[in-house]
Amino acid sequence: MLRCKDATRLASQSMERPLTVGEQLGLRWHLLICVSCRRAERQFKFLRDAAKVWRSGQD
């Protein structure tokens, strides 16, 4: 079982690189039971999408 620190690290890294199957399974299992880490993952996705929108407006 992943600790929250490890789960949030993997959630962040998943935005930059493909996770291994083991990492994916561990993260998904942790996210099933941890509300805080699910929230963190949603925030990472929001920030990534907001940055993309901001960058596209800089042209």
Q: Are 11 and 26 in contact (CB under 8 A)?
A: no
DSSP 15: T
Distance between CA atoms of residues 27 and 21, nearest Å: 10
Q: Centre a 10 Å sphere on the Cβ of residue 11 and count the other Cβ atoms it contains.
A: 21
Supply the pLDDT for residue 59: 62
- The predicted model scores a pTM of 0.84
The tens place of each residue's pLDDT in the chain, 59 residues long, gives 899 999 999 999 999 999 999 999 999 999 999 999 999 999 999 999 999 999 887 76
